[in-house]
Amino acid sequence: MTENRKKGALLIKTGTNLTRQILQSLAKRGINAYTASSGTAALDHLEKNNVALAFINLETAQPATTFNLLAKIKQHHPQLLTVMTCGIDCQQNFNSIISAAARSIKSGCCDFLTSSDSPDKLEMIMDTLLPSHSVQQCAAQADPDKPGFDLYRIIGKSSKLTNIITLAKRVAFSSAPVLISGESGTGKELIAQLVHFSSTRSAEPFVRVNCASLSESLLESELFGHEKGAFTGAVAKRKGRFELAHGGTILLDEITETPLNFQAKLLRILEMQSFERVGGNDSIHIDARVISTSNRNLIEEVKKGSFRLDLYYRLSGLRLVVPPLRHRPDDLPELVWHFVNMYAPQAQRRITDLDPSMMELFAKYSWPGNIRQLRNVVMTSLILGTGPTLALADVSWILDELEPLPQRQPSLQAAPAMEFAQNIQLPQGALAGIPLEEIEKKTIIETLRHTDGNQVKAAKSLGISDRTLRDKIKRYRQQGELIST
């Protein structure tokens, strides 16, 4: 399935000879075009629809009216990309056109387009502000309440991803609890949404609870609700997330972050399908499917005593494991182009190609942050880079970050290390019995102090490359064992 870009473009106060060209260009890209004959109609459309780009026609007889409308649009939709259009001949009205163009850019427009401009300029604007690179997606769900918005999209074409999609759809029609596990950033919440919207409960609420962000007391109030006066600040009765999810699905995101006392209460709810609000005595019955996610191994958490075994059995009736990005190399190009489509308009950068060396590096990298990390790398490269090819050359610090993790290295070369040890006059036998890795660490730290933090001098003194030293410094900082250099 090819990604269907549902974002549309809005043409405000159309009627010039530019309108036909713009409509043809949008149609060629498969982008929905809408028109608004007045400022009021335009603002109303923007409130209800997902619009990526607006073309505003300049009323030359009353330019103040047009710029007042532009100001209102920017006030209510500051992220909306806008282009001012003008249907009058640029050659005959050069000075007024230059003045209007300057005012448009100063007011927040991305560009100024006249009927005298060549079709190539329009195409360049479209390619820059409305990129529509073809992307494969496994699943998507449109928002029925907001035309042009998607509730979720799952991008990729690898067999591992399509397999998990197939399994998710198979378990969807059961009401049994589902446990979705996988590393952070793999898209567990998207799979949870897929299960819900593929089920017979799809018309009912999908309620998410981030268990990691709430303390035990707040978690109980959030999930079960509370009665008026139950605690300080409870000025009114409040329904909890379980009650709000009645008939639908509740997602307990990162369930392993909940304390043991709360896990016992949660188990009772899952068994009895009833609970009392905090500070209340009335039993409230609910029918909500429970989906939970975890980036940890729940069996290991049970062994450590931080997760209840009976709750694990209750939650893991059906299990789905989302594969990490490093096991899905075929999805990398799709995801990169997806993020280009998403962020290139903000960077106002036209991307036509992906640097082969960058993609080769991506394929070799382990991606510990998974898709979330890839998204950030693409976004940074778009903003800081230049030219029509997406590459990492302009952001070299990303290259250092994406360098494949080195194999465990032997200790420093013997001669420089021994020479340094002699220079600081260590007593005989002082190093005996100390692990080699610890000696290496202490040597590096002391050398950095000796060179006042100059890494080039330190690397030369130690007989290692600058990059090797940077890698070791990065590791020590992560371990919290290196002073600032």
What are the pLDDT digits (tens) for 138-166? 888 887 777 667 888 999 999 999 999 99
Q: What percent of the chain has pLDDT over 90?
A: 48
Show which of 401, 427, 444 is a domain's final residue.
Answer: 401
Tokens for 171, please give them. Answer: 């378990």
Is pLDDT at 204 greater than 50 in this prediction? yes
Helices (H), 173-288: 188-197, 216-224, 241-244, 260-272
- Domain of residue 372 covers 326-401
Given 276, 299, 321, which residue is the final one in a domain? 321
Q: How confident is the model at residue 398 (pLDDT cuts 50, 70, 90)?
A: confident
Q: Which residues contact 256 (CB under 8 A, 6 or more apart)?
A: 294, 295, 296, 298, 301, 306, 307
User: Phi, psi at residue 318, to the nearest 5°?
Assistant: -130, 130
Q: How many structural domains comprise the chain?
A: 4
Q: Residues 294, 145: one domain?
A: yes
Q: In this structure, what token pair is assigned to residue 328? A: 């899905």
Residues 116 and 50 in one domain: yes
Q: Is there a single domain that holds both residue 315 and residue 389? A: no
Per the model's pLDDT, the better-predicted residue between 51 and 461 turns out to be: 51
| End position of a domain, from candidates 129, 152, 168 | 129
DSSP-assigned letter for residue 212:
G
- Cα-only R_g, the chain: 29
Q: What is the average pLDDT across 112-125?
A: 89
In a domain, 237, yes or no: yes
Question: pLDDT by residue (tens digit) across 219-252?
Answer: 888 888 878 767 777 768 788 898 999 999 999 9
Reference 151, options 214, 212, 195; nearest CA is: 195
Same domain? 302 vs 449: no
Query: Per the domain annotation, does 233 fall within a domain?
Result: yes
Domain assignment present for residue 406? The answer is no
For residues 372 and 262, membership in a common domain is answered with no
Residues 65 and 15 in one domain: yes
